Amino acid sequence: MNQLQPTWAFLTDPGRWSLILERTLDHLGYTALAVGLSLIIALPLGLWVGHTRRGADAVLAAAGALRALPSLGLLTWLTVSMSMGVRLPLVPATIVLIILAVPPLLAGIVAGMVAVPRHVVDSARATGYSEAQILGRVEMPLALPVMLGGLRSCVVQVLATATIVAYIGLSGLGRYLIDGLALRDYPQMLAGAVLVTALALVVDLLLALVQKTLQPKGRVS
Amino acid sequence: MRWGWIVDNAGRIGDLAWAHFSLSWPAILASFFIALPIGWFAHRHARAREIVVVLTGLLYVIPSLALFVAMPLFLGTSILSPLNVIVAMTLYGLALQVRATADAFGTVPGDVRQAAIATGYPAWKRVLSVELPLAGPALLAGIRVVSASTISLVSVGALIGVASLGTLFTEGFQRSFPTQIIVGLVGTVVLAVLIDAALVLAGRLLMPWHRRVG
């Protein structure tokens, strides 16, 4: 327990705050970049699979298999074997985070779309809605809560894993863990652990609030 | 790929695979057995279930590297102790398995439970010899997910110096040697597949009445 005092001193030293802020923003930046790019991949694919209800099992199985790969292994392998890997570590780091982010996103989108009752879609079609209208005005609004659940778990997982990109020389809050380890500076490591956990909890809480606010009114469940 | 390196280092790769296995199986087993009573309790009491869902959700938010680093503070271990990784992995396993256990007991049909009560089963015997076997297939599905995620996450322990197949990632990175990293990746996947097969086999032996899980 005598480790707590130096950790507290580390965190409350105003001289460190600007660097902590900078690394927090970097951490959030890596997360946002990866989640944004993943949305570009997962959203069209998920909506297409969910709307046509074709190949949902195959897509989900492929996405699940990708998750079994250890992120640290993928990260080090891409960095070492890509030609720009060491010069531009952001590229392999973002690829790894995208591989991590796409499965929960896809799962949320497909699960939400598939859960829309068949007869609701069919009635919309019978009323003369075009396929695009069915997708935009019927399926997507009804699937939104489940999709947001997928987005939340995706963001939280990417944020947690973005800790290890410090290992290939990037910034982010993982820096304190990796640097502290190299220097055998346990208080610094512990401070990093506290910071990254706090950031993850805050982001998770904010997303939970967004999820609650966007929940369509009048839904039972 | 430099195949020669694999042949030359087969012994070391085997040792690391064994270390990886030794870090994984205690965590997988411990989360299964600790989750049983907690999950059963959460299944019976709605309030307990809410608390469990919130707590396990929070636990899963904590990055694994941060949890490994924080462990010595709670366990009084050294930062290099494998115990940090095992306990941290057990906590992650619990986060998944407690919910799976509560849902598994939820799949037991209500009328079967009623029938057991009507035939005069004492409560503990009803839980152990009626509810538990019926919840078995869903429990197995849960522990298979725990096993896959544990084996994948254990490798992060290499960053804090706990040897596993993840050590091949850090060493391969420091030496810019992709072959070594690929061996680690393939080894991790093979280990995950083997343990999964063992779990499925255990399920077949323990639940001979249950044909196929899906």
pLDDT digits (tens, 9 = 90+) for B94-114: 988 998 898 888 888 888 888
Interface of A with B in 176-205 (CB under 8 A): 177-178, 181, 186, 189-190, 192-194, 196-197, 200-201, 204
The reply to whether residue B62 touches residue A160, judged by beta carbons under 8 angstroms, is yes
**pLDDT recorded at residue B212:** 55
Tens of pLDDT, residue by residue over A94-130, are 999 999 899 889 988 998 888 888 899 999 999 999 9
Nearest to B58 among A81, A189, A201 (CB): A201
Summarize the confidence of residues A47-58 as an average pLDDT.
Answer: 85
Nearest to B173 among A79, A193, A196 (CB): A79
Q: Which of B62, B116, B115, B113 is nearest to B91 (CA)?
A: B62
Confidence class for position A57, pLDDT limits 50, 70, 90: confident
Query: Is A85's pLDDT higher than 80?
Result: no
**pLDDT recorded at residue A221:** 47
Q: Would you say how long chain B is, in residues?
A: 214
Work out the percent of chain A whose per-residue pLDDT is above 70.
96
- Look up the ipTM and state it: 0.85
Average pLDDT, chain A: 87
Query: Is A14's pLDDT higher than 80?
Result: yes
The reply to whether residue A77 touches residue B66, judged by beta carbons under 8 angstroms, is no
The reply to whether residue A156 touches residue B69, judged by beta carbons under 8 angstroms, is no
**pLDDT recorded at residue B76:** 84
Single pTM value for the model? 0.87
Going residue by residue through chain B, which has 214 residues, state the pLDDT in tens, using 9 for 90 and above.
788 888 888 888 999 999 999 999 999 999 999 999 998 888 888 888 888 878 887 888 888 888 888 888 888 888 888 898 999 999 999 988 998 898 888 888 888 888 888 988 888 888 888 888 888 888 998 899 899 889 999 999 998 888 999 999 999 999 988 899 999 999 999 999 999 999 999 988 888 877 654 4
**A177 interaction partners in chain B (CB closer than 8 Å):** 65-66, 69, 159
Summarize the confidence of residues A34-63 as an average pLDDT.
Answer: 87
Contact A176, A167 (CB under 8 A): no
Rounded-to-integer distance, Cα B16 and Cα B180, Å: 12
Summarize the confidence of residues A8-36 as an average pLDDT.
Answer: 90
The reply to whether residue B155 touches residue A73, judged by beta carbons under 8 angstroms, is yes
Interface size, chain A vs chain B, as Cβ–Cβ contacts under 8 Å? 119
Tens of pLDDT, residue by residue over A136-174, are 888 988 888 888 888 998 999 899 999 999 998 889 999
Is A5 in CB contact (< 8 Å) with chain B? no
Summarize the confidence of residues A85-102 as an average pLDDT.
Answer: 88
**pLDDT recorded at residue B44:** 85
CA distance B143 to chain A (A): 14
Confidence class for position A25, pLDDT limits 50, 70, 90: very high
Dig out the tokens for B8 from the structure.
Answer: 């030359």
**B168 interaction partners in chain A (CB closer than 8 Å):** 73
**B172 interaction partners in chain A (CB closer than 8 Å):** 76-77, 80
Q: Is the dihedral of CA A40, A44, A45, A46 positive or negative?
A: positive
Interface of A with B in 52-71 (CB under 8 A): 67-71
Contact B158, B169 (CB under 8 A): yes
Summarize the confidence of residues A188-194 as an average pLDDT.
Answer: 89
The reply to whether residue A73 touches residue B156, judged by beta carbons under 8 angstroms, is no
Structural domains of chain A, ranges and CATH numbers in brackets: 4-214 (1.10.3720.10)
Q: Which of B64, B147, B6, B119 is nearest to A167 (CA)?
A: B64
Q: Which of B154, B167, B107, B169 is nearest to B133 (CA)?
A: B107
Spelled out in words, what is the top-level CATH class assigned to the domain B3-206? Answer: mainly alpha
Q: For chain B, which residues make up each domain, given as ranges? A: 3-206
| Cα Rg, chain B, nearest whole Å | 20
